Amino acid sequence: SVTYGNIGQLKSNIQLVCARGFLNHMQSPEISITIDDLTEGIRSGLIQLASNRSAMAELSKILEPKITVAPNDTIMKIQSDSYELPYNLYDIIGDKAALLKSDGLDQEAINHFISTDINIHLKSFYKDHGFSFNADSKLAEFVDPKIIEVTNQIYVMVKRSLPYEFQQNFIYAMSLHISSFLKKINLGEERHTNDNIREMAFDFPDEYAVAKEVRSYIETYFQVEIPESEDYYLTVLLVSLRANQA
């Protein structure tokens, strides 16, 4: 398979499987994932693997037929010095949206799922890196002070334009987002627009209009050209950072 060795694709597939398990067991205290929940690519890979007896014998030494994971289980921490929300995570979420749509969820339910998922990943990132929202010192270890300054101005802008409060982590989340996509732009890396993210953005016209203003402000401040597709990602982030979400 051409996907062998593609860690990003593996990560995406794992998250898709988890999303499907969550969707199918929303009213249950436990989530059970079987082969029926796996993507077609994973299933076909398992069939190929089954024909390799030596590989199966090695796997059987470290894997049980049934694996149970509890919320309080000790897990191995994996160190990472990159923040991938704006690019990798948004693309993964877009894939999840396609999966949820194929399973019959309406756009409102998909939007809620995506916002919740973004917040879960943000909280995990903050916890792993020991962030405290009472000071910018920790944030300055990851983000240029100029970006933090710009984000504070953006916070004033969106507070003036949108009729609701934002979460306490707004400065952190938006600063990390801006830092990441500016780094990608400076490196000349391109990202294709995800149709599902665009569709979600169009469901929030007020936030979408503000996102355009935010992109324009960042372009002017840093004298850099930002793709219009970033409006969709900024919109989704603004929606996800609203306070008191249901």
Structure tokens at 88: 């990798």
Q: Which is more confident, 136 or 193? A: 193
Of 71-80, 139-148, 209-218, the one with minimum mean pLDDT is 71-80
The pLDDT score that the predictor gives to residue 92 is: 57
Q: Per residue in 73-117, pLDDT tens?
A: 665 554 444 444 444 555 656 667 777 777 777 888 888 888 888
d(CA 162, CA 238): 10
Segments of the chain assigned to CATH 1.10.1790.10: 87-241
Choice between 222 and 26, residue whose per-residue pLDDT is larger: 222
Read off the pLDDT of residues 15-46 as tens digits, 9 standing for 90 and up.
Answer: 778 777 777 777 788 888 888 888 777 888 88
User: For the domain 87-241, what is the CATH code?
Assistant: 1.10.1790.10
Task: Characterize 132-151 residue by residue with b for buried, 16 or more Cβ atoms within 10 angstroms of its Cβ, and e for exposed.
Answer: eeeebebbeebbeeebbebb
C-beta separation of 85 from 191 below 8 A = no
| Phi, psi angle pair for 166, to nearest 5° | -115, 160
* pLDDT band per the 50, 70, 90 thresholds, residue 187: confident
